[in-house]
Structure 1
Amino acid sequence: MSPSLRTLLLAASFVPAALARITVRNDPDPEAEADSLDALDFSDAAAPLALTRPGGVHYACKCLPGESCWPSAQKWNTLNATVNGRLRVHIPPGAVCHSSFQGPFGTVNTYDPVKCAEATANWSNEQWHVEQPGSNLWTYFTNDTCRPTTNPSDACTLGYYGVYVIMANKKQHVKAGIDFARRNNIRLIVRNTGHDFIGRSTGYGALIINMHGFQDITWTDNYKGPGSYKGGAVTIGAGVQANTILAQGHAKNPPRVVVTGECPTVGISGGFIQGGGHGPWTTLKGFSADNVLSFEAITASGKYVTANEKKNPDLFYALKGGGPASFAVILSTTMKTFTDLPSAGATLYINTTHTFDPDVIWEGTKIFHKWSNHFVDNGLYAYYEILPFTLRVRPWVAIGKTKAQLDSILQPMIDELDAAGIPYDFESKAFPTFYDLYVDLFEPEAAGESALTGGWMFNHHDVATNNDGIIEALKTATAPRSDLFGIIVGHLFNPGYGAPISNSATHPAWRNATDFVITVLPVPAGSSLAQKADLQDVLTNVVDEGLRSASTSGCTYVNEADPYQPNWQSAFWGSEYPKLRALRAKWDPLGVFYAVSTPGTEKWEVIDYGTRLCKRLPAPGPSTGQ
């Protein structure tokens, strides 16, 4: 190991929060904004690494640590200086519970009993993971490496985490990271919160750009364009989370809201909005992506761009639901705001406090779901969970409605539950604003678990004509095999309610949606590669196949579904996909950005046991030697 790299790596204790910082010079002046593709230049990109694997399969691959193409210590130190000493060697957050971390650059002592106690106590805390440099909130796609332990001698390795992290808080830092990855053929990961079900926030051998430091929020009462919209707006930095923007909006007079996710730790800009972004306001106002007015971003060529209706409108369209980490890195997003309204909420529980008969619980679930078209057609949103012996609907959200109005909407379902003799607990409440409802009725989610995630959308026709079939599919998802159990997380909403025309890249089928279901299949600790492959097969071909067979929608959600399902292009984007694939080739022709199952990634694979990112090449033709 060279002295300069050793200085970078070993100047501190290797606890992530205390890694070495080197400040050498100030940021250079920002480059001029590029108005069109003509200003983009990829001529400085490094050539990919050519590899051939058994069977004569040829690949063009990203470079990995230890290979001759890996950047020198001097290059990494120069990058660290360029980003004002904000480059970190990435150590998994549980390393503080282990005697040592066996990383790509050697073994380092990491045990710290105080920090271990903190990590152990917070392992299920989403916000704690968000604040770590590169943690993934759900651990399956990290290879479940280096978790907190009571035995410090347990092995701790990097797993599928990235190697370095830039803790960016200026746009120049982001540009430096993109440029470095492009010029050195390094896999690049863009991470905001790590709120990621399917492994797009982590990757073996990668340089991570952590965007959580972009926390600026600017409100305006009268957006002046471009475009015809003239109402209230807010510009949100890439790292701002739902709880922050909603709390700040609530403090305004009158209170303001934006379309966020239901989970308070989700970041708004970035992967959430690039996947579409759904939440409690979606039935009334569409996806978050439908409400974007403008983006500030950096392209794969390292150019600063504005994307809106007038400037780079094709990029504007693609960033609104066209796939995370695919077209550019979002620095900030300007969105429409809305006046918060008095609201009503309700909860329903059917569980073992009422009955131990699963048939009774499933009959109650069937009745609840039968009325889901009725709920969304009356402007409601609902979040529900199905677990063993449990249906939890918490909450229904009725924005702009009174408790009496909500009760009236829900009464037909209540009457049917009563007529069927289904025991339950039901409660409804009035709130002065949606924000008050949000704080009271939405619950924190837990991080730190290992699971595979799938999902599917049921439309109005599915619910109206095949509710029994949907319930049978949900039963399969919760018990796909005698040795397995699953969990259902459902969301009743319709982005087409009152706004049936999409202005984003999201799948057109969403405009007739009723229920989006997430399927969760837990992965036991220490599972072998064969066991993981078996569970993936169960998820794709048993759990989600049952959902697909019960539906006519042909649609699922980009950020919360099985990325390895057949025909993911059509399932995620439908008729929008050919346009998105062409735009990916335009804005990122070399694949500087990568996230699984996003436009234009058909030829990309992660080979060598989940480590090496490569583009599969056509077999060379026969030699025409002289």
Structure 2
Amino acid sequence: MGRTQCDVIWTPGHCGSISGILHQPPRGVLAPMTSGEAHYFARRFQVLWIKSIGSRVMTSALLLYVCETGLPVARATSPSMRSRQKQSQIYRHYHASHLSRPWLTFLQAAVKFSSAHNLRVAVKSSGHDFLGRSTAPSSLLIHTHKFQNISFVGSTMTVGSGVYAQTVYEQGKANGRIAVGPAAATVCLGGGWVQGAGHSALSPTFSLGADNALEFEIVVASGELLKVNQKLHPDLFYALRGGGAGSWGVIVSVTFHVYPTFNATSSSIYLATENNTVSASLATLHAQHVFDWDSVNAGHYMSVIRNTSTNASIFWLNAYMPNTTASQSKELLAPFLNASLALPGVSLLSQDFTYGDINDALFQDDDSVGSNVVVGSRLIPAATYRDSPSTVGEVHKKLFGKRIIGVMVAGGKVAENAHISSAVHPAWRTAKIHLISFGTWDDSASLAEIDQIRHLFQKVQLPIMEEIAGPNAGAYSNEADVLEPNFQTTFFGPNYGKLSAIKSKYDPNDLFIVGAGVGSERWDEWGLCRV
């Protein structure tokens, strides 16, 4: 059985009650441009148009860059669910329309319309999706950005699915509360972030975003608005907390547990290393010290950025230490920093300690566009860092390409919450670090070169990462490779069977189908024909 793809259904006579709120995306270079836009696309869009490989909407590997940044963006949808897009099929992807009005009745009508016409539905909140799940070919794209409600009642916060993290932190500070949320300012807590598990610098203190979700309002495939919590539709509540973004319906709002705000120190250290061997020694040293900051439940990020022309690298560490002053944070980081500077070939570039309200410290600006990047990741067990720190260093050395990031947001409360019944991958409960590798390319790269980089993680980087993650290890589904051949195990582990049954119950016709999402194995790479 295939999807509806003909243009006739978008005419007023067929669209009925939603005809006035449908918008067809501009057709890329075929649409008129201002002189500024033309200049912007002169270099960028030719690459997007001709070399669109992969399934990213965070990056210009897609024809549709959907992060709203105020800069001109290409709007021609890139549809690939799991593999490369074919040049000859580009022109049939402009049938996607999107719903932007916030009224609930129109949202329900749109979902019912899609169900009646067997249309695939894609859901976009802010578009921060490394797997391309917030866009799709020949589909109805529902944009939830205008669900902007936010309210605080006691220890709870209810947010619309279009509310940015920056707004949450600003309003949280005003209300004396802090929510577990992401670092990037324009990620929406009520979108794909919480559905994928939702990591945060506060996760060691308060656990994952999914663990703090108390209730959802969601429009499911039937068009019905459901209130979902531990007592109402508990199976769907299970799925929405970690069962993957875009697979369950259109989230209208989420209620989270929030906490009294507090002061914290954000610590940032930049070190320069002379070559890969020195960088590997520094990575080993970091692995040896990674538990030093557990006493204050610190969440921190580590990044190694290599200069490919000289083999020198920049090592960056950014730690968030709750209820800790700047001087206390400096003291806690001193053993690692002093040992690092004792290594030959390591020098300190800068260090900074900023103390203040945690709401001010958490989010980071995310105003970049047009990067050519694909990612892959694994959750690395805490036991690896305790027992084999030197192996961690060697793996980092093998992975040094352009950039790797270690996201130290597990352990602590994440591990303690292993008893919670949710779809969060069990690997989160034993992990210490979410390790990400990046593959990048220049705009001048050939199609063959991009294709090689596109598959670099599965062919080269993953076997290396498995030296510390182990075989069949889990990954954080929001920051991972959509080409995972066994995504059921990698993203969902032993939860997949239960999730598949829940999917069949609430979405029997797979209206909401996304790349590497629950049920996607039943569809072709375009999500248009059953296999």
The TM-score normalised by the length of structure 1 is 0.73
Is 1:477 aligned to 2:399, yes or no? yes
* DSSP 3-state at the match of 1:361: helix
2:479 aligned residue: 560
Name the residue aligned to 1:497: 413
* Equivalent residue number for residue 314 of structure 2: 391
Question: Aligned partners of 1:582, 1:207: CA distance in 2, in Å?
Answer: 25
2:457 to 518, 539, 543: 539
**Offset of residue 246 of structure 1:** 0.5
Q: Residue 444 of structure 1 aligns with which residue?
A: 366
Deviations 1:269-290 (Å, cap 9, x if unpaired)? 1211110111111111111010
CA distance in 2, matches of 1:216, 1:118: 34
What is the CA-CA distance between 1:112 and the residue it aligns to? Answer: 2.5
Q: Does 2:382 match 1:464? A: no
**Gap change, CA 1:604 and 1:374, over 3 Å in 2:** farther
Q: Distance in 2 between matches of 1:161 and 1:431?
A: 49
Hey, what does 2:293 align to over in structure 1? 375
Q: Is the 8 A contact 1:263 1:445 kept in 2?
A: no
Counterpart-to-counterpart distance in 2, 1:598 and 1:331: 20
1:162 and 1:272 map into 2 onto residues whose CA distance is 27
CA distance in 1, matches of 2:458, 2:91: 28
Alignment CA distance shift 1:529-1:567 (3 Å): same
Residues in 2 aligned to 1:528 and 1:183: alpha-carbon distance in whole angstroms: 43
Partner of 1:575: 494
2:343 is the alignment partner of 1:420? yes
CA distance in 1, matches of 2:523, 2:412: 34
Instruction: Give 3-state SS (helix, strand or coil) of 1:407's partner.
Output: helix
Out of 193, 199, 210, the residue aligned to residue 143 of structure 2 is 210
Give the secondary-structure state (helix, strand or coil) at the position aligned to 2:512.
coil
Cα distance, 1:468–1:447 mapped onto 2, change above 3 Å: farther
1:452–1:523 CA contact under 8 A, matched in 2: no
Change (3 A) 1:72 1:274: closer
- C-alpha contact (below 8 Å) 2:404/2:438 kept by paired residues: yes
From 104, 114, 121, the counterpart of 1:181: 114
Q: Which moved more, 1:335-344 or 1:426-435?
A: 426-435
Match of 2:243 among 295, 314, 322: 322
User: Quick one: which of 158, 161, 181 aligns to 1:260?
Assistant: 181
How far has the Cα of 1:341 moved from its partner?
0.8
1:468-509 deviations in Å (ceiling 9; x for gaps): 333333333333xxxxxx321221122543733334310112
**RMSD value, Cα:** 3.0
2:21 equivalent to 1:62: no
Q: Deviations over 1:86-137 (max 9, x none)?
A: 2111126xx4xx4x34xxxxxxxx13335557889999xxxxxxxxxxx943
Aligned length: 494
Taking a change above 3 Å as real, the CA distance of residues 587 and 199 of structure 1, as seen in their structure-2 partners, is: same
Corresponding residue of 2:280: 362
SS state of the match for residue 414, structure 1?
helix
**Cα distance, 1:515 vs structure 2:** 1.1
What is the distance in 2 between the residues matched to 1:315 and 1:246? 28
**Is residue 453–residue 519 contact of structure 1 (8 Å, CA) maintained in 2?**
yes
**Structure 1 contact 307–316 (Cα < 8 Å) conserved:** yes
Query: Partners in 2 of 1:605 and 1:269 — Cα distance?
Result: 29
1:245 aligned to 2:168?
Answer: yes
1:73 matches 2:11: yes
Tell me the residue number matched to 1:20. none
Separation (CA, whole Å) in 1 of partners of 2:197 and 2:73: 32
Contact 1:239–1:267 (CA under 8 A) maintained in structure 2: yes
Q: Which has the higher Rg, Structure 1 or Structure 2?
A: 1
- Give, in whole Å, the separation in 1 of the partners of 2:213 and 2:228: 10
Partner SS for 1:615: coil
Q: State the distance in 1 between where 2:382 and 2:404 align.
A: 19
The match for 1:510 among 425, 428, 444 is 428
- Cα distance change on mapping 1:214 and 1:208 into 2, 3 Å: same
Q: How far is 1:367 from its partner?
A: 1.5
Residue 142 of structure 1 aligns to a residue in which SS? coil
Question: Matches of residues 147-166 of structure 1 in structure 2 within 5 Å?
Answer: 163-166=96-99
CA distance in 2, matches of 1:291, 1:555: 21
Q: Relative to structure 1, is the Cα distance of residues 114 and 429 closer, same or farther in structure 2, using a 3 angstrom cutoff?
A: closer
Partner of 1:32: none
- Which of 1 and 2 has higher RCO (CA within 8 Å, sep 6+)? 2
Q: Structure 2 counterpart of 1:287, which letter? A: L
1:504 partner SS: coil
Q: 1:286 aligns with which of 207, 225, 230?
A: 207
Q: What is the SS of the residue equivalent to 1:544? A: helix
Equivalent residue runs for 1:578-593 within 5 Å: 578-593=497-512
1:334–1:532 Cα change, 3 Å: same
Displacement after TM superposition at 1:593 (Å): 0.4
Following superposition, the deviation at residue 158 of structure 1 comes to 5.9
The question of whether the paired residues in 2 share the 8 Å contact of 1:470 and 1:547 is answered with: no
- Alpha carbons of structure 1 residues 549 and 356: separation in structure 2 relative to 1, 3 Å: closer
Change (3 A) 1:356 1:112: same
- Percent pairwise identity: 24
Q: 1:310 to 1:220 in 2, by over 3 A?
A: same
CA spacing shift, 1:521–1:261, aligned 2, 3 Å: same
Once residues 262 and 437 of structure 1 are traced to their aligned partners in structure 2, the CA distance between those partners, rounded to angstroms, is 9
What's the CA shift string for 1:571-608, capped at 9, x where partnerless? Answer: 212222221111111111110101111222222221xx
Q: Which runs of 5+ in 2 are unaligned?
A: 46-55, 67-71, 75-89, 307-311
> Residues 344 and 428 of structure 1 are in contact (CA less than 8 Å); yes or no, is this contact kept in structure 2?
no
Q: Is 1:199 paired with 2:129?
A: no
1:162 CA displacement: 6.0
> Is contact 2:285-2:389 (8 Å) kept?
no
AA aligned to 1:447 is V
CA deviations over 1:45-85 (Å, ceiling 9, x no partner): xxxxxxxxxxxxxxx2223246xxx526234552544xxx3
SS of equivalent to 1:367: helix
Q: Secondary structure at the match of 1:550?
A: helix
Identify the match of residue 172 of structure 1 among 94, 97, 105: 105
SS at match of 2:168: helix
Task: Please tell me whether the aligned partners of residues 256 and 339 of structure 1 are also in contact (alpha carbons under 8 angstroms).
Answer: yes
- Aligned position for 1:594: 513
Instruction: Call closer, same or farther: CA 1:75–1:506 in 2, change over 3 Å.
Output: farther
Equivalent residue, structure 2, for 1:112: 34
For residues 320 and 422 of structure 2, the distance between their equivalents in structure 1, rounded to whole angstroms, comes to 24
Residue 299 of structure 1 and its aligned partner are, at CA, apart by 0.8
Measured at CA, do residues 122 and 392 of structure 1 come closer, stay the same or move farther in structure 2, by a change above 3 Å? Answer: farther
SS class of match (2:434): strand
Residues 513 and 519, structure 2, Cα contact 8 Å, conserved in 1: no
Cα separation, 2, equivalents of 1:391 and 1:490: 14
Cα distance change of structure 1 residues 248 and 527 upon mapping to structure 2, 3 Å threshold: same
Secondary structure of the equivalent of 2:422?
coil
Post-superposition offset of 1:147: 6.6
Alignment partner of 1:86 is 2:16: no
More helix by share: 2
